[in-house]
């Protein structure tokens, strides 16, 4: 059974984009959980890939994305932030500043991805821990991914039993959304990290 670990897009000088998805195997013991995450991450990867060409064309408002993830102060540049709503579902992600540069950085890249539903264009949104218990919602943190793809040093997923899980769109101005988030994540061994002080300003740059 396969699960997509992460999806990365690179823009080359000639305007051609390369979409890279990395997969990992799963044992029978994790069959159902892997199926769910495979579908969620496949959807997120496809949404992300579809948005890449339009993100550059329609860039208007500077974006920001930051959070304290365990002992890592994650901060993304404008080019590393992607917000893609499709209907009531949305995907918001941010990677280490400079991750989208060409040639890619030689240092490891961290990436935080949030996928859930409840989105309404131009409206504020509050998702509490009960909202994130739904199967369509997930949060993934890939720590230390190698440049140009490859397996991360560690991958953490949402702890759906945590009351710390919360996501808010506090301001909606046209296609620009601002908000906050906090989560508790766990790796496959049960080791937990906290995502705190999460803030974002992101633009829906689809045509």
The mean pLDDT value for 141-150 works out to 85
DSSP state of 98: T
Reported as a single tens digit per residue, the pLDDT across 30-81 is 444 544 554 455 555 544 444 444 444 455 799 999 999 999 999 999 999 9
The mean pLDDT value for 201-205 works out to 97
What is the domain count for the chain?
1
Tokens of 24: 């990992």
pLDDT band per the 50, 70, 90 thresholds, residue 150: confident
Identify the pLDDT of residue 58.
52
Q: Which domain holds residue 176?
A: 2-203
Position 189 pLDDT exceeds 90: yes
pLDDT band per the 50, 70, 90 thresholds, residue 133: very high
> Any idea which residue has 């061994």 for tokens?
189
3-state secondary structure of 17: strand
Instruction: Give pTM, 2 decimals.
Output: 0.73
Reported as a single tens digit per residue, the pLDDT across 77-110 is 999 999 999 999 999 999 999 998 888 788 889 9
Contact 128, 137 (CB under 8 A): no
The mean pLDDT value for 106-130 works out to 95
Q: Of 114-118, 124-128, 150-154, 179-183, which gets the smallest average pLDDT?
A: 150-154
Percent of the chain with pLDDT over 70: 71
* Cα atoms in the 13 Å half-sphere on the side-chain side of 158: 32
More confident site: 8 or 162: 162
Average pLDDT, the chain: 81
| Cα separation values, 183 from 51, 67, 77, 199, Å | 25, 10, 21, 12
Reported as a single tens digit per residue, the pLDDT across 8-35 is 444 433 333 444 444 444 444 444 454 4
- Provide the pairing of β-strand 154-158 with 176-186: antiparallel
Residue among 21, 19, 17 at smallest CA distance from 42:
21
Identify the pLDDT of residue 103.
85
- In the chain, % helix, strand, coil (3-state, to 5) comes to 15, 50, 35
């Amino acid at each position: 059974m396969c699960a997509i670990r992460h999806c990365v897009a690179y823009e080359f000088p000639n305007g051609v984009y390369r979409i890279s998805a990395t997969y990992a195997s799963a044992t029978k013991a994790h069959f159902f959980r892997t199926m769910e995450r495979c579908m969620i991450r496949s959807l997120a990867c496809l949404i992300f890939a579809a948005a890449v060409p339009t993100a550059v064309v329609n860039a208007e408002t500077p974006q920001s994305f930051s959070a304290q993830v365990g002992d890592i102060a994650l901060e993304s540049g404008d080019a590393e932030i992607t917000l893609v709503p499709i209907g009531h579902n949305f995907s918001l992600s941010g990677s280490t500043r400079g991750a989208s540069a060409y040639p890619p950085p030689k240092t490891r890249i961290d990436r935080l991805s949030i996928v859930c539903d409840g989105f309404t264009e131009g409206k504020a949104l509050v998702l509490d821990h009960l909202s994130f218990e739904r199967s369509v919602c997930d949060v993934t943190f890939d720590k230390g991914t190698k440049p140009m793809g490859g397996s991360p040093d560690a991958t953490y997923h949402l702890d759906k039993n945590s009351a710390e899980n919360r996501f808010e769109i506090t301001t909606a101005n046209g296609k620009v959304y601002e908000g906050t988030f906090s989560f508790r994540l766990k790796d496959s061994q049960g080791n937990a990290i906290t995502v705190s002080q999460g803030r974002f300003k992101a633009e829906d740059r689809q045509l």
